[in-house]
Every structure is written in C-alpha cells, then in structure tokens.
Amino acid sequence: MKGKVAVIGVGMIKFGELFEKSLENMIQEAYLNCLKSVDKGIDPKEIKAAWFGQWSGGYIGQGSQSGATLASMIGNLDIPVTRLENACPTGGDTFRHACLGVASGLYDVVLALGAEKMRDKPSAESMMAAGGGGADTGWHPSWMLGQGGPVIQAMHAVRQMHDFGYTMEDFARVAVKNHLNGTLCPFAHFQFKVSIEQVLNSPSICWPLHLLDCCPQTDGAAAAIVCRADIAKRYTDKPIFVLGTNVGIDHSQLWDRNSFVEQPATVKAGKGAFKMAGIKPADVDFAELHDCFTNTELLNIEDLGFARKGEAAGMLKEGQFDRNGSRPINPSGGLKAHGHPIGATGLGQILEVVTQLREEAGGRQVKLKNGIGLQHNIGGPAFGVSAVNILSRTS
Amino acid sequence: MAQPTPASPLFWRFNAEVFRLIGIKCQDCGHISYPRTKICHECGSLNVQEYKLPKKGSIHTYCVNWTPPPQFEPPITPVVVDLEGGGKYLGLMTEVDKPEEIKIGSRVEMVLRKIMTDRGLNVYGYKFRLAEV
C-alpha cells in the first residue's frame, strides 16, 4: 500500500450554516472545486469508482442516501459508488476506502467525497440525533440517556483533570490556538479569535466543558481524487502520496472501556498507520487531529505518540503545537473553527494536509521538515472508531 | 429522535438485565459486561457465564450535564461506576443537592427510580445515590 496511491486533487466548500444549500448542492460544489484543483486537468470520466461518506442522515432529516445520490449529482452513472458510514471518522474512512480501491489494482482513478447537513433541524434535535447510540443499548434510557459527545468527552476531561492535574484553562488553550488558526482559513465556519477568559466564561454545556470547548454543528462537503502513484504526474506536478492508512477500533459501549484518559481506537489506528508508513510519530511535521472538544485534542496528541501521557497540556502551553511551533496541531483551525459536518470532516482535513504539503496554505503555512502530515478522526457511541491517514510529498 | 416506547420489544427483551442486573463474566479474561452476550466483548471467548452485577461501587468518572435531554431539569450528573468485584456501570446520580458532592472515588449504590415518562408510560431503572460510609 505504501507509496502506491497519490492524491491529485482536493476540493471543499466553506463550512457553515448553509440553509440556502441542499445536500446535493454541496456535493456538486465540492466535486467541481475538486476537479478544478487538478492542475493539469482531468476528464471526469477517468474517475472509475467513488466512495460517498455520509453519516446519519436518517436522524437529522437529510435521509440516509446511497451511492446513487453521489453518482447522479456528478453525472456519472457508469461506475460503482458506495456510501460509507463509520461514525465521526466517516470522512477519514471514506478516503481510506478510496485509497484501498486504487491499491487493490481494480481502479486507476477514484473519488472520495463526504457531505453532511447538520443544521436543517434545530440544534437540540440535531444534538439528540447525534447522541443516540443506535442499536438496542443505545436507545435504552436506563443506560444511554443523553450520552452524546459532550457527556462522553466531559467524562474523559474530569479524569484527565484528576489523573494529570489538567485544568479547564489547559482545555481552553486548545480553543484559543485553533480559533486563531481558523481566522486564516477561508473554509472555516467561525473566523474569530477567542481568549482563555471568553472560553471559561461561555455557558457550561457539560462541566468541565463550556460552549467554546465544543465544536459547532455545521453543514459542509469535501472531496479528494486519488490515483495510482505511477500515473499521478499526468494530472499534477505536485502529487501527494499516501504512506499509511488505518482504522482503529475499540468497544462500542462506554461501560466496556477500561480507561478514560486514553482512547484505544486512536492508539490502534495510529500504530497501524505508522507501521504501514514505516515512520515514527516524531517524523510527522504537523497534524490535523479530531478536536470535537478541546480536551479531546489533548487525548489525541498523547494517543498518537506526539506527547507522553499527561504532558500534552504543558507542551501546548509552551507553544509547541502553535502554527509556528515545533509540531503544529490543527493549522487549519480544526473542528473548533470549521465545525463538524461528519461525512465531510475527515476529507476537509485531508484537503488541509495536502494544501500544507504543497506549501499552498498562504498565511497559515507551516514549516515543513520531512514533508509528512497526518489526518485523524475519532468518534462513535463510546469513541470506539478512529481513522488515521499519513500523507507525504515523496513516496 | 426515534424513541422506543416502554411497551416496545426492546424493553421486554432487557427486563432481566435492567431490573435483575444480569450480565456476563468471561471465564477466560474476567471481563464483566451487560446486556448478556454469547461472545466476550473484550477477548472474543465463548466461555462466558451469567453474572449478577452488584449494586454497589465507586465513581470512576462523571460530569455535570447542563444541557440534558427533554424531561430533565439541569443539571443532571451521569456517572461511570467501578462496580465492586469488577465491571463498570453507566447511569445517572439521584438525590444530589449540589454537583460538588460528587467526586471520583465516592461510594455509591443503585436505587430503583423512575427514569422518565414516555407517551404516558413510566420508564423505571436504576440510578445511583451516594452511599453511607
């Protein structure tokens, strides 16, 4: 797999409350932007298969679509198209499956596209949909009532405070850093700065997490075109190569989990991806990590091996994860600034990693040393699913 | 949100688990879980036996939810409890005056309470309250 697949195009739309756009409108805009980004041009009919990432449409009113929705919207009915849903890592896993399609030898050029409408229903309803675990145990009120993302991550945050002495200020620093980065990203839902005081004074959602510790509910779409690495130069002078791709799995029920200061799904996804890539965490220049909540970013940094357990907050305070720090984390502004249109989120992060590796990120460009970037998602009813993709300028 | 009614098969199916606290214990790795499963979630062993969960334990972690689902007055305090003898249980605290009374390590015990009302029918289950030391 390593080095066999290259990204030749990426495209997305500005994430936000897009009441004027349907799911189908967003799909087409992201797709057209993606085609346009292939600098030497591409005939759309060269795309021989596609994967469509969409999370839980049925609950939030957009309908759980099929591959036919994507195929119809891109006007290509002669290729196989599969819809994929795998909790919050849906976007990252959709990209992975596109890469596997090429690596299998079946297809030379394929499309990965994710799209999600989160805002057509009122916030409370949308949050309730996102919080229902699905399956029997997820619906039984004795066990799972109200166990949405904020509750689960707040339970981790309480344990991080207890075990490592992390504080709400430490969590707030993640929001400060990511929102600052987001002011320079044209695709971000929110493009404002926040201070530690503003985060700590925002309403309490699930103590110890405040409103500004949480990412917003957002509409959006994002896409990538990947192809056989040996033909990538036909399409672009700046192909970006896939070094490693993996999904890590842990329990689907919170009460089966052992630890609340580590998310084993991320640990496993990272280990497998690093092994495939033949690199160590220290070789990664920068990373786009799944900061659905501020404390989650600290968990992720540690679970992927960018810091030892209990040390991420201190390194953050020293500025090591700033855009000009030793290892920038979420130079795009992350989910905090972009929001989290679930099927699109991972592919939006892929766009940022590719843009940074091509040194086309303008004011938010990070310094590259090895030319390697990493994308990460985590989620699911007990945060038991994680996706990691490692990209590089060289194969 | 699709919500099962208390008369739906899911409630009937889980009566033993919810009210009599019947779970499983893996005879190979010792993992304790619920509802009953033929295959251990932790190690995949088929060598699992029914196991009655204890009603007592201590708080492993918790949070204070100021944005609870409909029918609940904020704040509510979900807890993950380390049960005596192993295993964890997820539930809500009850009879708490101030959230500050709840701490990691606090001793708790299950009490049967009404959880909510759904289309005129009551849904019962266990909640946790702080135990006398």
b/e per residue A126-161 (b: at least 16 CB within 10 A): bbbbbbbbbebbebbbbbbbbbbbbbbbbbbbbbbb
Nearest-Cα distance to chain A for B45, in Å, is 15
Just give the CATH number of B54-133.
2.40.50.840
Quick check: A147 and B34 CB within 8 A?
Answer: no
Quick check: B1 and A128 CB within 8 A?
Answer: yes
Give the bridge partners for B47, in sequence order: none
Cβ neighbour number for residue A186 with a 10 Å cutoff: 9
In this predicted structure, what is the pLDDT of residue B68? 86
Which residues does chain B have within 8 Å of residue A140's beta carbon, measured at their own beta carbons?
4, 10-11, 14, 18
In this predicted structure, what is the pLDDT of residue A59? 63
Q: Does A157 touch chain B (CB under 8 A)?
A: yes
Tokens of B8: 């739906």
Task: Tell me the C-alpha distance between A193 and A336, whole Å.
Answer: 11
CA A135 to chain centre: 24
Active site residues of A: 88, 340
Task: Tell me the C-alpha distance between A341 and A359, whole Å.
Answer: 26
Which DSSP helix (H) or strand (E) runs through A391? strand A385-392
Tokens of A195: 């201070």
Task: Tell me the C-alpha distance between A306 and A297, whole Å.
Answer: 11
Task: Tell me the C-alpha distance between A99 and A240, whole Å.
Answer: 12
* pLDDT higher than 50, residue B40: yes
Binning pLDDT at 50, 70 and 90, where does residue B84 land?
very high
CA B127 to chain centre: 7
Cβ neighbour number for residue A316 with a 10 Å cutoff: 24
Residue of B nearest to A152 (CA): B63
- pLDDT one-digit tens code per residue, B93-106: 999 988 999 999 99
Q: Which residues of B touch A (CB under 8 A)?
A: 1-4, 10-11, 13-14, 18, 31, 33-35, 41-42, 60-70, 72, 75-76, 78, 80, 87-92, 99, 104, 115-116, 118, 123, 125-126
Quick check: B80 and A128 CB within 8 A?
Answer: no
Quick check: B72 and A132 CB within 8 A?
Answer: no
In this predicted structure, what is the pLDDT of residue A140? 77
Binning pLDDT at 50, 70 and 90, where does residue B78 land?
very high
Residue of A nearest to B118 (CA): A141
Q: What share of chain B is helix, strand, coil (3-state, %, to 5)?
A: 10, 40, 50
Which DSSP helix (H) or strand (E) runs through A209? strand A209-210
In this predicted structure, what is the pLDDT of residue B12? 87
b/e per residue A83-117 (b: at least 16 CB within 10 A): bbbbbbbbbbbbbbbbbebbbeeebbbbbbbbbbb
* pLDDT higher than 50, residue B74: yes
In this predicted structure, what is the pLDDT of residue B1? 45
Cβ neighbour number for residue A342 with a 10 Å cutoff: 30
Residue of A nearest to B11 (CA): A140
Closest CB from B10, B67, B90 relative to A254: B90
The number of residues making up chain A comes to 395
Quick check: A145 and B88 CB within 8 A?
Answer: no
Binning pLDDT at 50, 70 and 90, where does residue B123 land?
confident
DSSP string, A240-286: EEEEEEEEEE--SSGGG---SS--HHHHHHHHHHHHHHT--GGG--E
CA A330 to chain centre: 10
- pLDDT one-digit tens code per residue, B107-117: 999 999 998 88
- pLDDT one-digit tens code per residue, A280-321: 999 999 999 999 999 999 999 999 999 999 999 999 999 999
Give the bridge partners for A228, in sequence order: A5
In this predicted structure, what is the pLDDT of residue B9? 83
Which of 3.40.50.300, 3.30.70.100, 2.102.10.10, 3.40.47.10 would CATH assign to domain A5-122+215-392?
A: 3.40.47.10
Per-domain residue ranges of chain B: 1-53, 54-133
Per-domain residue ranges of chain A: 5-122+215-392
Amino acid at position B69, single letter = P
Nearest-Cα distance to chain A for B77, in Å, is 9
The residue of A136, A143, A202, A251 whose CB has the most chain B CBs within 10 angstroms, and thus the best one to mutate to test that interface, is: A143
Closest CB from A141, A147, A156 relative to B78: A147
SS3 A81: strand
Nearest-Cα distance to chain A for B132, in Å, is 23
Which residues does chain A have within 8 Å of residue B91's beta carbon, measured at their own beta carbons?
142-143
Q: What is the phi/psi pair of residue A329, to 5°? A: -115, 125
Cβ neighbour number for residue B105 with a 10 Å cutoff: 9
Contact status, residue A76 vs residue A47, Cβ threshold 8 Å: yes
- pLDDT one-digit tens code per residue, A49-95: 999 999 976 566 677 789 999 999 999 999 999 999 999 999 999 99
Task: Tell me the C-alpha distance between A31 and A91, whole Å.
Answer: 15
The residue of B8, B11, B19, B60 whose CB has the most chain A CBs within 10 angstroms, and thus the best one to mutate to test that interface, is: B60
β pairing state of B88-92 and B78-83: antiparallel
Nearest-Cα distance to chain B for A179, in Å, is 24
Nearest-Cα distance to chain A for B49, in Å, is 16
The residue of A158, A250, A252, A295 whose CB has the most chain B CBs within 10 angstroms, and thus the best one to mutate to test that interface, is: A158
Which residues does chain B have within 8 Å of residue A123's beta carbon, measured at their own beta carbons?
none
Amino acid at position A307, single letter = A
Contacts of A72 (CB under 8 A, 6+ apart): none
ipTM of this complex prediction, to 2 decimal places: 0.96
Cβ neighbour number for residue B76 with a 10 Å cutoff: 23
If chain A, 395 residues long, is cut into consecutive pieces of 10 residues, what is the mean pLDDT of each piece? 95 97 96 98 98 81 86 97 96 98 98 94 71 61 77 97 98 98 98 98 97 96 98 98 98 93 98 98 98 98 98 98 98 98 97 98 97 97 95 96
